[in-house]
Amino acid sequence: MEKSFVWLAILLGLGAIILLCRYIYSQIVNKPAVQETVQPMKADEQALSLKESLEIMARALLDQQVEVSEGSIRIKVLIDHFDATLHEQIPFSVFNEVYILLEHMPTHQARKQTDKKFLHKLDQQRFTIEKKLRPQVLAASKALIDYLEKL
């Protein structure tokens, strides 16, 4: 009885393996068809998405939901993709200024690997920059919202 149970289990296992292989194969074969149905984002849709993202980040800055440094850097990068000529305009140039002042500071994994004393020193430098440029960044955020609403 034990031998027949073992053989039955082996046969059931092989059947399951065959079914899983067929399923995986069908997923691989059908994958290109799924990829063809995904349309790349059109330029108008992308611009609208960037506009919405800029508006959200500017409002987050005004509502103090993000730090001045983080919000400024994110807005600077979004402006790069939306309309880089905005960096040349007086109210919006502050985002680029904050970016330039902070771009040397480590982020993400590099920050985790940096000495804590050095990080404290960099954070103090960042806080000083934020305090100094906060009024300009908030004014630029308000101006950006006004500008985007006119578009």
Mean pLDDT by 10 residues, the chain (151 residues): 80 87 82 56 79 94 94 95 92 95 88 86 94 96 94 85
Q: Note whether 94 and 139 are same-domain residues.
A: yes
What does R_g of the chain's alpha carbons equal in angstroms?
27
What confidence score (pLDDT) does residue 128 get?
95
Instruction: Provide the domain limits for residue 69.
Output: 43-150
Q: Note whether 73 and 33 are same-domain residues.
A: no
Q: Note whether 23 and 48 are same-domain residues.
A: no
Q: Give whole-number Cα distances, 6 to 3, 82, 84, in Å.
A: 5, 65, 70
SS3 content of the chain, % helix, strand, coil (to 5): 85, 0, 15
> pTM of this prediction?
0.70
Q: Note whether 22 and 54 are same-domain residues.
A: no
What confidence score (pLDDT) does residue 3 get?
79
Q: Note whether 11 and 85 are same-domain residues.
A: no
Residues 50, 81: contact at Cβ < 8 Å? yes
How many domains is the chain partitioned into structurally?
Answer: 2
Q: Note whether 29 and 59 are same-domain residues.
A: no
Q: Note whether 47 and 10 are same-domain residues.
A: no
Q: Note whether 67 and 130 are same-domain residues.
A: yes
What confidence score (pLDDT) does residue 2 get?
81
Look-up: residue for tokens 């691989």?
28
